[in-house]
């Protein structure tokens, strides 16, 4: 694992020692190389996990998320070039350093073998993210958004620390690899119910569960582009990853504790999709769509069948790439029109036809058009929830319909119609932006050829 972590850490000296005009190109190419190295992790030859050391391991669940993390850093660097073009050099370097730090923490979080080290790194990712949001966000509201982000996640995860300590006392180990073989059921008591809640709540806030999601639209809307990308693509997935890992040792409480949260997720996913339908702010629409998609993942994890696990992991990867791409597209609009309001920037199709093609592709993957991996994920989740309870098909079906509606609504308001006078002379789309979209789209399309590498440990 050090072959990824050490190069990532070495990105920092590279940033600080690079010349002014080389800073973006150096870091981007280097991080792209790192992500190429990490691709080898996708090859999981045996049923066992790849144990690199006592500290780090990877298995079919963490490998796709890890690759997604490393893949996203070059994309984030490409996306934020324009946003930072007016900043002094030292602040650009600081920004890249923050992104690199975040990437390092994320890699270690996804590969940690110990639950406590997982917890520490999980919390550590808050720091660079908070700095990125509050320092490089767009408006004054970013401070408020930062506060919401920090306190929601901190409050959610503090009980987890206590729960972990008590589990350590109970079992004598917090090692993921060992816990899998610890089949002793937790006794049926009130304290174990609280243990379950403490363990799950941290990740449910992070996902986020409907009702605990208020931090997310704020943080997404106010964060700079790289912040939005990393939040949507990876930080939310930390919650899903954590839930998938920790539910293995919370038997049999999950089977009955899951009901209220399942209900809340099923209900919340329809609510948030409906909220999307009446958003005027492009970024906040995409943020709410993330909440709705993540609700599917929560449902899948709580149902606890092999198929639902497959659906959860596939959906996480698919959503990571799709929502990150949508944020990039929204940002490219914002950089041209200086407004996130959708009705002020319409009819862009005639002005930026290639960008319109990217918009179309991104919207279609977002609404889970057939060959995409989004569909594979959703299909697994819908099927497993149907076999869990027949009624859920109504909610799932409604959600899929509303998702299609708001994706098309977003596409049509931004791209179709007659353009107004003030967007008449916007800059053409840059090669950088087209490359960025292509780098999002390629993995989505390639994965639909061979989705089994992202189906997780139950495949």
Partner 1 sequence: MVKKSSMAAAGKEPGRAPGTQAAIAAASCCAKRGTRHTSSPGNQLSRTSAQSRGVPSPTPPRARRTDVTPGSPMAAGGGHGRGSWGSHGETAAYGAEGRGLEAPLANGRARLNNSRRGAVTAEGTVCGIECCPRRGGPQRAMLRRALRLGLGRGLLGRGLGTWRGDSTLDWDGKVSDIKKKIQSVLPGGAWNPLYDTSHLPPEHSDVVIVGGGVLGLSVAYWLKRLEKRRGAIQVLVVERDYTEYLAVVDDPPLDLQFNPSGYLLLASEKGAAIMENNVKVQRQEGAKVCLMSPEQLRNKFPWINTEGVALASYGLEDEGWFDPWCLLQGLRRKVQSMGVLFCHGEVTRFISSSNRMETASGEEVTLKRIHEVHVKMDRSLEYQPVECAIVINAAGAWSGQIAELAGIGKGPPGTLQGTKLPVEPRKRYVYLWHCPQGPGLETPFVIDSSGAYFRREGLGNNYLGSCSPTEEEEPDPGNLEVDHGFFQDKVWPHLAQRVPAFETLKVRSAWAGYYDYNTFDQNGVVGPHPLVVNMYFATGFSGHGLQQAPAVGRAVAEMVLEGSFQTIDLNPFLFSRFYLGEKVQEHNII
Please report, as residue ranges, which positions from 141 to 170 form the binding site for partner 1 (by CB under 8 A).
Answer: 143-144, 147-148, 151
Residue 140 near partner 1 by CB under 8 A:
yes
Which part of the chain contacts partner 1 (CB under 8 A), choosing from 172-180, 304-312, 336-344, 349-357? 336-344
Cα–Cα distance list, 63 to 5, 39, 43, 449, 453 (Å): 14, 9, 9, 18, 9
**Are 137 and 45 spatial neighbours (Cβ–Cβ below 8 Å)?**
no
CB of 293 to partner 1, least distance (A): 23
| Alpha-carbon gap, residue 131 to 166, rounded angstroms | 32
Which part of the chain contacts partner 1 (CB under 8 A), choosing from 137-145, 189-197, 245-253, 404-412? 137-145
Residue 52 near partner 1 by CB under 8 A:
no
| Alpha-carbon gap, residue 353 to 336, rounded angstroms | 15
Nearer to partner 1, 149 or 176 (CB): 149
* Strand partners of residue 50: 58
Nearer to partner 1, 370 or 428 (CB): 428
Whether the link from the prior residue into 252 is cis, omega within 30° of 0, is: yes
| Alpha-carbon gap, residue 269 to 291, rounded angstroms | 7
Nearer to partner 1, 271 or 296 (CB): 271
Which part of the chain contacts partner 1 (CB under 8 A), choosing from 36-44, 156-164, 175-183, 425-433? 425-433
Tell me the HSE value of 278 on the side-chain side, using a 13 A CA sphere.
Answer: 4
Nearer to partner 1, 278 or 452 (CB): 278
Kindly tell me which residue out of 3, 91, 422, 452 binds partner 1, with binding defined by CB under 8 A.
Answer: 422
CB of 425 to partner 1, least distance (A): 4
Backbone angles phi, psi at 345, to 5 degrees: -135, 85
Of the candidates 308, 8, 248, 300, the residue with the CA atom closest to the CA atom of residue 115: 248
Which two structure tokens, joined as six digits, stand for 101?
A: 């730090």
Residue 343 near partner 1 by CB under 8 A:
yes
Which part of the chain contacts partner 1 (CB under 8 A), choosing from 203-211, 374-382, 384-392, 416-424? 416-424
**Are 15 and 27 spatial neighbours (Cβ–Cβ below 8 Å)?**
yes
Which part of the chain contacts partner 1 (CB under 8 A), choosing from 138-146, 182-190, 257-265, 430-438? 138-146
| Alpha-carbon gap, residue 182 to 51, rounded angstroms | 19
Number of residues that bind partner 1 (CB under 8 A): 29
Nearer to partner 1, 140 or 183 (CB): 140
Nearer to partner 1, 222 or 433 (CB): 222
Quick one: which H or E segment has residue 364? helix 353-366
Kindly tell me which residue out of 189, 341, 350, 442 binds partner 1, with binding defined by CB under 8 A.
Answer: 341
| Alpha-carbon gap, residue 100 to 29, rounded angstroms | 14
Residue 280 near partner 1 by CB under 8 A:
yes
Where do contacts with partner 1 occur on this chain (CB under 8 A)?
A: 138-140, 143-144, 147-148, 151, 278, 280, 337-339, 341-345, 347, 418-427
């Amino acid at each position: 694992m050090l072959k990824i972590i050490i190069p990532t850490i070495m990105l920092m000296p590279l940033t600080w020692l690079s010349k002014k005009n080389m800073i973006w190109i150096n870091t981007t190419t280097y991080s792209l190389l790192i992500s190429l190295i990490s691709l080898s992790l996708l090859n999981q030859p045996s049923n066992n996990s790849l144990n690199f050391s006592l500290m780090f391991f990877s298995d079919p669940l963490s490998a796709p998320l890890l690759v997604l993390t490393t893949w996203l850093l070059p994309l984030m660097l490409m996306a934020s070039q324009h946003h930072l073009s007016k900043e002094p050099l030292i602040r650009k370097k600081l920004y890249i350093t923050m992104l690199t730090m975040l990437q390092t923490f994320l890699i270690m979080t996804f590969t940690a073998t110990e639950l406590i080290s997982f917890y520490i790194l999980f919390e550590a990712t808050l720091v660079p993210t908070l700095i990125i949001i509050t320092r490089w966000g767009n408006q004054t509201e970013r401070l408020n958004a930062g506060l919401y982000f920090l306190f929601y996640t901190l409050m959610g995860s503090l009980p987890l620390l206590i729960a972990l300590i008590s589990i350590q006392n109970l079992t004598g180990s917090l090692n993921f690899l060992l816990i899998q073989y610890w089949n002793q059921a937790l006794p049926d008591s009130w304290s174990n119910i609280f243990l379950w809640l403490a363990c799950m709540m941290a990740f449910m806030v992070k996902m986020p569960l409907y009702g605990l999601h208020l931090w997310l639209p704020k943080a997404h809307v106010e964060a700079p582009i790289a912040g939005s990308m990393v939040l949507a693509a990876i930080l939310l997935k930390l919650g899903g990853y954590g839930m998938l890992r920790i539910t293995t040792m919370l038997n049999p409480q999950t089977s009955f504790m899951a009901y209220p949260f399942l209900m809340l997720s099923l209900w919340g996913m329809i609510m948030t999709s409906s909220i999307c339908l009446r958003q005027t702010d492009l970024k906040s629409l995409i943020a709410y769509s993330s909440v709705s998609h993540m609700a599917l993942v929560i449902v899948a994890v709580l149902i606890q069948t092999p198929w639902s696990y497959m659906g959860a992991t596939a959906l996480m990867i698919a959503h990571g790439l799709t929502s990150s791409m949508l944020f990039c597209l929204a940002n490219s609009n914002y950089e041209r029109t200086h407004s996130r309001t959708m009705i002020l920037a319409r009819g862009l199709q005639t002005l930026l036809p290639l960008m319109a093609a990217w918009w179309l592709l991104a919207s279609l993957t977002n609404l889970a058009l057939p060959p995409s991996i989004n569909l594979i994920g959703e299909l697994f989740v819908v099927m497993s929830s149907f076999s869990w309870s027949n009624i859920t098909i109504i909610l799932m079906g409604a959600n899929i319909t509303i998702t299609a509606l708001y994706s098309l609504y977003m596409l049509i308001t931004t791209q179709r119609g007659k353009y107004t006078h003030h967007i008449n002379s916007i800059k053409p789309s840059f090669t950088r932006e087209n490359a960025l979209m292509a780098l999002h789209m390629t993995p989505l399309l390639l994965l639909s050829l061979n989705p089994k590498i992202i189906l997780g440990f139950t495949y």
